[in-house]
Structures are given as structure tokens and as C-alpha cells.
Amino acid sequence: MEAATLKSQRFRQEREADWKRLEDLLARFEAGNAGSLSDSEVLAIPVLYRAALSSLSLARGISLDQSLVAYLESLCTRAYFCVYGTRTTLVERIAGFFIADWRDAVRALWRETIVSTTLTLLGAVVAFVLTRAGSEWFFSFVPQELANGRTPQASAKDLGDVLFKTHDVDGLTIFSAFLFTHNAQIAILAFALGFAACLPTAFLMLYNGLMLGAFFAIYADHGLGIDFGGWALIHGTTELYAVILAGAAGFKLGWTLAFPGEKSRLDAMTEAGRQAATVMAGVVLMLAFAGLLEGFARQLITSTVARYAIAGATGAMWLLYFYAPVRLERAGGARVRG
């Protein structure tokens, strides 16, 4: 025991000065005083980190006391995050997401976005034409419980009341939260089902368009088509685009799983999953915004012109944000995106 203790003490005495120096530098760095470190001190951290790793390896190899091993493990862990960890603050990470990451991920899925948009529009056109040709088609596309009285048999007055009836502010918060939850579930389902060879995602995109086209047809039959467009698009330009992006992310996963290309399937799916997850993080934010528009703006603003103006403004905002060839710079000037 005395020999082991002596060996541990000698081991510590020979190296403790470097450990203490590293610990002091890490304490200053972790306290947010990295700017006070000189160039030589910054360069010393990785050198001292490697020396501490070597000491830890030796301490484990010659079975020194566990308190010393635990101390070195803690020191090396702290040094690892200092040397290899993130260099950005939370605010910078959030800014980087909105300035570059989300935008880049959406732009990279432009092919999948076109497919998702085409399926949605195809469904809308097919349902509109069939429902105008025969009203019985309406219930093939819209479940009875979802119609909520908005059927081909409803009068123009009843349908108009849905479009122009004003609501008290009380309760709109709950309504908005419900709409956000419902729409988020649809988007996440479209994304998650992409793994199944893209087919369920394609069906959801098509079916979403079918319901929209069927509703538009019955309002058009009653001379309310333009008014319905304003009512639906005031939030729909954000909501529909969010669901389309979720479908695009699902298509990306399904296609990559089936056709990984030159990369291994694991590597290809890892890259696609990271890209799709970035898109979905933004989709949730878009749906939250759409929920506010649907739960508040659509209920409180009854002017069709105003509704179209808001729809056009939000649609233009998303298109410019994602696809305009502007130069955006990350927080801290780390990189510039075109």
C-alpha cells in the first residue's frame, strides 16, 4: 500500500503543474473570458489536453488511485469540449439556422418540393372538376365529420356565414393551438411515412389537394369561389407550403433509402436525415405561424381583399426567403451564402 501511494504521489508531482495550468485555462474559457487568453495560451490548450490524455492512459494502465483517475477523466472531458466543441453561442446557432441552414436545406429539396406541389395541385384540380360534374363526388374526398355542414346541399347563406362570420377574441387562442396541433400532425405524418417507398407521403399530398379542390368546388357552385379563396389562402399559403415541404422531406428520405447512390445506404440516409430534420424544424415554425393566421387573422378579418393581400404577402415572403438569390451572412461572419 505504501509503495502504491508513493507511486501515485510521484506520478502526480511530475505532471500536476501541467494539469493545474490546463485547469486554469479551461476555467477562464468556460467563464466566458476566452478573449482574455493570449495566443500562446490558446495554442497551449490542445498541447496540455494531449498531455492530460497521456497521463490518464498511464494512470489507468498502472492502476493508480481512482480519485486521480476520476480527476483526469473530468479534466480531459472539459478540455475535449474546449478543443473540439462548438464555438458558437445559442443566439448564433439560432441565427445561423434562419440565415443559412433552413434556407439551404429547403433549396436542396427543390426537386422533391416540385413533386409534392404537383401532387397537391393535381389532387385539387381532379376533385374540383369531379365535384363540379357531380356533387356526389364531394363525400368521396371529404369525410362527413370534416365537412361540418359545408356540403353541396348547404345554402349559399350557410356557406357564406362560415366565410364571413366574426368571432370574439376569447377562445381564439385555444382554436389556434388546436389548428397548429392538427396541421403539425399531418406534416409530421407525411414526413415520417416517406420511409415506406414514398407512397404514403404521395397519397397524403394528393389527398390534401383532393379535399381542398372539393371544398373549392362547392363554394364556386354557390358563387363564393373567390371569397373562399381568400378565406383559405390567408393562412393556406403558409400552411400548404409547410405541408408540401414536409412531404418533400419525406420523399427525400424514401428516395434515398431506395436509391442511396454511390454512398453507402447508412451514410446516404444520415446525410438525408440531417437535411430533412432541418427542414422539419422550420416546418413546425411555419405551422405555428399558420395556426396564428388561421386562428386569429382569418376569424377577425372578413374583407376578401384584405385576406388576399395577407395571403400574397406571406406567399411572397416565403418565396423570397427560400429562393431569392440574395447574399446572406452567418452571425459572426463565418460564411456567406448566395
Domain boundaries, the chain: 12-85, 92-330
The DSSP secondary-structure symbol of 336 reads E
* Helical packing angle, 172-192 and 225-258, nearest 10°: 30
* DSSP β-bridge partners for residue 227: none
Which pLDDT score, from 0 to 100, does residue 309 have?
A: 96
The H-assigned helical ranges of the chain are 2-30, 39-61, 66-84, 90-96, 102-108, 110-133, 138-141, 144-147, 156-164, 172-192, 199-221, 225-258, 265-292, 298-300, 304-323
Residue found by looking up cell 440516409 in the block: 269
Half-sphere exposure of 31 (CA within 13 A, CB side): 9
**pLDDT less than 50: residues of the chain:** 329-338
Q: What is the CB neighbour count within 10 angstroms for residue 248?
A: 28
Residue found by looking up cell 445506404 in the block: 265
Which pLDDT score, from 0 to 100, does residue 325 have?
A: 82
Half-sphere exposure of 245 (CA within 13 A, CB side): 31
Q: Which amino acid is at 39?
A: D
Which pLDDT score, from 0 to 100, does residue 176 have?
A: 58
Which pLDDT score, from 0 to 100, does residue 334 have?
A: 42
Residue found by looking up cell 492502476 in the block: 63
Which pLDDT score, from 0 to 100, does residue 330 have?
A: 47
- The pTM assigned to this predicted structure is 0.72
CB contact at 8 A, 252 and 109: yes
Which pLDDT score, from 0 to 100, does residue 9 have?
A: 75
Which pLDDT score, from 0 to 100, does residue 305 have?
A: 95
